[in-house]
Structure 1
Amino acid sequence: MKLWRWILLLVIVAALAAFGWHWVAADPGDVLIRIRGWRVETSLVAAVGFLLLAWALLVGAWRLARWPFGALSRRHRRLSHQRLGEGLIALTEGRHGDAERDLNRASRLASLRGPALLASAEAASRRGEHARALETLGEAAQVAPQAARVLRARVLRRDGKPAEALALLAPEADANKLSPGGWRELALAALAAGDIRRAREALEPLQKSGALGTRAYAALESRVLVASIVAAADAAALNTLWSQWPKTQRRLPVVVDAYARRAAGFGLMLPAMDEVESAIRREWSPALVETWGTLPGGDIEVRLRRAEGWLDAHPNDAVLLLTLGRLCVQQKLWGKARQYLERSLALAPGAGAWEALGDACAGQGDATQAQRCYRNALSAVRGEASPELPGTTASSIDARGIAMEERNEHGMPRLRG
């Protein structure tokens, strides 16, 4: 409050006090008390002051009498808050036994009972003691029923019982009364139980709540959409599902990848290729390039020319080079395939590139080199180091044409900084 407001308030109070005093002084009134021969006579103002003083003395005496009991209560509250803090720290550090002990002690304070029991149940669940966690949640439900229900569903899902978790949350989901955490648990439980429809229904309220960050929600959404695509029974069901989704969902790279692979499995080669190529034009994605290169069917020569056009903007993309090598192998362009594949291996050695290089060497009739490539592919799958082939060291491959200049999607060089 500003200074002038305080001054104005003090002036008003002083004026009221002055007028009140003159009003009382003009006629202070009389108070007469007679009881058993005792007679007390005073003014009204003095009587009111005496009553206020007596009331203050009684309150002070009552608080003084309660002080020893209050000290015990304050100590209990202080220790309970301390145990709650220590229990949460132990839970974060992974000392779940210590966390459960401290949190159970903290739950003896009524104001901390709900959060302490919930955290204790979480500690028991992380230890694998799911039965004790559910028992603790039964007590927590008396204080925080909604939070206990969500955590119970999580414990059931961790215990390998997603159907029970889904049945627990379904009534509130149908009534649209679930909390954001409940909607997330519903989606995860539905995915685990194979109820993809339920999982998709949980996405919209979860997105509206804003409880999950952008990346976390995108990851969950992608999981649900990919599971929906995989669960499509036939081509008609897949097309119906795909046409019903908004563009934002159909443009997620991982979703496009799943759709393309599923559509190709149903023989829908043209829609699969179109979706992947459209996604690559919108945003470069090495994962989609690899999927595009492995899709069966189509005119391999046309695809090879298109991929070589992408190479101008992405000369150092190992996945694109691998795709080009595989396409050249299919066209039996063995020498060209080896150049692409050796460049890909120089950038990012992997089992796929070694295997494709083995196919190229075999196509040229070089059985010895082909066997070495296949062994290197097997070593890469096992996570072992792959020995270099004679004449294919990184320096020699660089000298044969790894582009040191990166270009954007329009073919313009990117500046290095």
Structure 2
Amino acid sequence: MRKLILFIVIALAVGALFGQLMISVPGYWLVRVGDTSIQTSFWFGLVIIIVATLVLYFLLRLLWSMRRPFQRIKSWNRRTRHRQALKRTVSGLVELAEGRWRHAEKVLTRAADDSSVPLVNYLSAAIAAHYQGRFDQADELLRDARVSTDGADSAIGLIEAQLLLDRGKREQALAVLSRLEKETPDHPQVLRLLKRGYVDVRDWEGVRTILPRLKRFALIDEQETLELEKTVYRELFKQAPAFGASTEISSISNRTVSELERVEELWRDMPDYLRSDPDMLLLYSSALEHNERAEQAEQLLRKTLDHHWHAGLVLRYGLLDVNAQKQLKHAEQWLSQHPNDADLQLTLGRLSLRNNYWGKAQQYFESSNTQRPSGTASAELARLYASMGETNKSQLFYKRSAELLDRALPELPQPSQAR
């Protein structure tokens, strides 16, 4: 009640003030258009302008509000299409997972235009087309994926590389993966696919360069790591002669290297546990001897055998052409720990031959053949007896050698001797 009375009082005061102004401040409006003129008092004209302004304002608001239903209809239609596209996308992904490639590709492609995530549609459709053998269509869908979404080059490149690897286009896949590696050097999936591609094309140098990252990010288990590292360095040792004969830059030293330098840098680069692996030691010692470093190979094998006994290394030690007298002396010291080792006896026999100790060589060969009859020991005895003029013994051991070797051969069909 008080507010109403206050409002009436204020309204009367304002009205009185406005009336006083109309009396005390006279004036008029004159509007002339052509031969027609309109004249009215200032205050009446002012009221007309204010009323016209308010009418225009509310009219514009009315027109603007009439526009909103169309926007709402458009927005509703867009949301409806997105919901339908989402349903079709889910349906297409289910079809893809169940191996219905043709239908999956069709559904996913149709839903791509209205999908809120067209990248998913195009990539999934590309996979479906790939599994149908429609490789050109798969490539086209990958191009559509690039156009549809900015900043997805890595994801698209990974799918592309995987599809190329599946098709057997390894070189093209490696080109894509090499580009991705430069952009994201530690991306796990890039590294996995690079490993697969490098192994497929037997690019062991490529595998070697990514091995540390494969291990750091636990992308391969311990057993696979051991097998892969051994394979990599074994194959690189075998490739060292060809590497040294070319002008290729070594990724280890970043320069051209000789065969020996390549062998040495590979030996330094490999993990510690591989430097005590017998197979690696055999390869390394053979490479050293091939590059006129037989003394270095002898020292390596001798020190290794002093602590880790291995038949293959013992036999390799007896074939090195260095100081035969020192070799024989050192090898005979191993007899105290390995008195019945047939391979050591065979090596001692060969070292005795290189020292011209014919009788000692005969004893060692016979002892080796007694410990474990072998075609190799029998052949050495046959050759020795032939050189000593003992033809009957020589023929006997040649025959025994042939028999022992024949036993080691696999069972295979032979032509019948019946005539």
**Normalised TM-score (structure 1):** 0.52
Aligned counterpart in structure 1 of residue 304 of structure 2, from 279, 289, 305: 279
Equivalent of 2:214 in 202, 206, 218: 206
Aligned to 1:53: none
Alignment pair present for 1:379 and 2:406: yes
Deviation at 1:146, TM superposition (A): 5.5
Any conservation in 1 of the 2:101–2:128 contact (CA below 8 Å)?
A: yes
Aligned pairs for 1:311-322 within 5 A: 311-314=335-338, 317-322=341-346
How big is the shift at 1:109?
8.2
Deviation, structure 1 residue 171: 1.6
Q: CA deviation at 1:245?
A: 5.0
Structure 2 Cα separation of the partners of residues 307 and 106 of structure 1: 71
Contact 1:325–1:341 (8 Å) recurs in 2: no
1:356: which partner in 2? 380
Q: For 1:292 and 1:367, locate their aligned partners in 2 and report how far apart those are by CA, in whole Å.
A: 26
1:239-258 CA-partner distances (Å, limit 9, x unpaired): 34434555445334332221
Rounded Cα–Cα distance in structure 1 between residues aligned with 2:311 and 2:125? 47
Instruction: Tell me the equivalent position of 1:25.
Output: none
Following the alignment from structure 2 to structure 1, what is the Cα–Cα distance between the partners of residues 159 and 135?
9
Q: How many residues align?
A: 279
Q: Kindly report which structure 2 residues correspond to 1:159-178, keeping only aligned pairs within 5 A, or say none.
A: 159=168, 163-175=171-183, 176-178=185-187
Equivalent residues in 2 for 1:29-68, closer than 5 Å: none
Which of residues 270, 291, 303 is equivalent to 2:327? 303
* RMSD (Å) for aligned C-alpha atoms: 4.5
Shift, 1:263, TM fit:
0.9
> Equivalent of 2:193, from 182, 204, 215?
182
Amino acid at match of 2:290: G
TM score, norm. by length of structure 2: 0.52
Deviation per CA, 1:168-204: give whole Å up to 9, x if none.
43222333155242242244256x25xx543321211
User: Does 1:251 pair with 2:259?
Assistant: no
1:98-247 alignment to 2 at 5 Å? 132=133, 138=139, 145=156, 148-152=159-163, 154-155=165-166, 159=168, 163-175=171-183, 176-178=185-187, 179=189, 180-189=191-200, 192-193=202-203, 197-232=205-240, 233=244, 234-243=259-268, 245=270, 247=272
Structure 1 letter corresponding to 2:232:
V
> Deviations for 1:329-358, whole angstroms, at most 9, x for unmatched residues?
54531132121133233xxx5x54454344
**CA distance in 2 between partners of 1:277 and 1:136 (Å):** 63
CA–CA distance in 2 between the matches of 1:353 and 1:117?
A: 64
Task: Give the distance between the partners of 1:149 and 1:278, measured in 2 at CA.
Answer: 51
Counterpart residue identity of residue 237, structure 2 = I
Aligned to 1:413: none
Change (3 A) 1:77 1:134: closer
Structure 1 pair 183/315, CA: closer, same or farther in 2 (3 Å)? farther
Offset at 1:369?
A: 1.5
1:288 counterpart = 2:309:
no
SS in 2 for 1:202: helix
- Report the AA paired with residue 367 of structure 1: S
- The structural deviation recorded for 1:107 is 7.5
Match of 2:291 in 1: 266
- Deviation by residue 1:263-319 (Cα, 9 ceiling, x = unmatched): 10011012212222333345333333333233x312334333433443444456554
> Does structure 2 retain, via aligned residues, the 8 Å contact 1:134–1:155?
no
Check whether the contact 1:183–1:205 (CA below 8 A) recurs between aligned residues: no
Aligned-partner residue type, residue 229 of structure 1: F
Instruction: Sort the Cα spacing of 1:278 and 1:335 in 2 relative to 1 into closer, same or farther, 3 A.
Output: closer
Q: Distance in 1 between matches of 2:303 and 2:134?
A: 49
Tell me which residue corresponds to 1:3: none
Partners of 1:187 and 1:203 within 8 A in 2 = no
SS of alignment partner, residue 292 of structure 2? coil
CA deviations 1:90-135 (Å, max 9, x no partner) are xxxxxxxxxxxx77778788699979987997x99xxxxxxx4966
Q: Which of residues 340, 344, 368 in structure 1 aligns to 2:395? A: 368
Q: Which has the higher contact order (CA 8 A, sep 6+)?
A: 1
